[in-house]
Amino acid sequence: MNEIFNANPTIYTKSKRSLRKSPFETGQSLWVDDIEQQDWSDASNVEPIDQDEVFDLIRSIADPEHPNSLEELRVVSAEQIDIGNNLITVEFTPTVPHCGMSTLIGLSIRVRLMRCLPPRFKVDIRVKPGSHQSELAVNKQLNDKERVAAALENPALLETLEKCLATAGSQE
């Protein structure tokens, strides 16, 4: 049993899933290698992407300490996703401002997008401004590729992460 930062979070109903099936959502663990074989860089293959498609990729990621999805807890929403030129910025809202799970939640979002999106997309992940007491520290850590890379080589952390991601992409 671990410390629970927010023992009783507010649960919200889920919105309708967007009808359009994203071409990116082809698999749950599409690694960079596989993508390369598909030659994403080929200009003819470049697909535009929108907020809803990115949201579909991350909405059903499980919260590390609750049996709910990030969407149900309103940690993520389509409005908090910004699409630029090959740059995706995902903002998320921790359930409580002292949430110690924020880096883990952010990491799960990053890994999910890293696995599903073609490598041409750069991804920035941030907590919603004012929603976390260590906002800057969390943002800094989530966007440090070296820290992220090292984290994914930690077996205990990776196992926890895989649990959060096991539900990602599920339709229910």
Partner 1 sequence: MTFSGALTLTDLNDFITPSQACIKPVEVLSPPEDGKQSGSAFTEIKIDSAGSYYEVSSLNQDASSSKGAERKLQQAQISLNDCLACSGCITSAESVLITLQSHIEVLNVLSTNPPPSSPDYRFPVISIAPQSLASLAATVSSTSRFPISLLQILRRVQVFCTGVLGFERVYDTSFARHIALLEHTREFWERKRDEGEARLPMLASACPGWVCYAEKTHAEMLPFIARGKSPQQVMGTLIKSWLGGIWGKRPDQIYHVAVMPCYDKKLEASRQDFYDEIHSTRDVDCVITTGELELLMREKGWDLSVPVENETTPRHPTLSGSDSRQEPVLPELIQHPGTSSGSYLHTLISAVTRMLPDPLETSVRAIRSSDYEEYVLRNQRTGEVVFKGAKCYGFRNLQNVVRKVGKETGVQIGRGAAGRIAGAVRARTRKIGAGGETELKGYDYVEVMACPGGCVSGGGQLRPIAQASQRQVDEEGYPRNWGDSGVRVESGGPQDTIAGPKWGNKEWTKEVEKAYWHDLPTPPPSPTSDLLPEVDQLAIRVKVELCRPQDSASQTDWSSPMDAEAERRRRELLRTRYRAVESDTVGLTVKW
Partner 2 sequence: MDVDPQFNLQLVVSLPGHEERAWQVAWNPAKPLLASCSADKTVRLYSYQRSGDDQATSPSFSHISTISTAHTKTVRSIAWAPSGKTFATGSFDSNVGIYEKKEELDDENGLDESEEWECVTMLEGHETECKSVGYSATGTLLASCSRDKTVWIWEVHPDADFECMGVLMEHSQDVKCVAWHPTEEILASASYDDTIKFYIDDPSEDWYCLSTLTGHEATVWSLAWSPDGNYLASASDDLSIRIWKRVDQYNWKFVHQLRGHERSIYSVSWNIGKGTSSKNMGWLASTGGDGKINVWEISQPSEQATKDTLCSKLIASISSAHDVSDVNSVQWCPRSGFEDLLATAGDDGSVKVWRVVPASS
Chain residues that interact with partner 2, rule: CB under 8 A: 33, 36, 40-41, 86, 118-120, 122, 140, 144-147, 149-150, 153
Q: H/E element holding 88?
A: strand 87-92
C-alpha angle 119-124-130 in degrees, rounded to nearest 5:
165
Q: Which of 161, 165, 168, 169 binds partner 1 (CB under 8 A)?
A: 161
- List the x/- string, 54-93, binding to partner 1 by CB under 8 A: ----------xxxxx---x---------------------
The listed partner (partner 1, partner 2, none) that binds 44, CB under 5 to 8 Å by sort, is none
- Distance between CA atoms of 22 and 59, rounded to whole angstroms? 13
Crossing angle of the two packed helices 51-58 and 102-116, in degrees rounded to 10: 120
Tell me which of partner 1, partner 2, none is bound by residue 86, counting a contact when its beta carbon lies within the kind-specific cut-off of 5 to 8 angstroms. Answer: partner 2
Q: Is the Cβ of residue 30 or residue 96 nearer to partner 1 in the bound state?
A: 96
Q: What is the CA radius of gyration of the chain?
A: 16
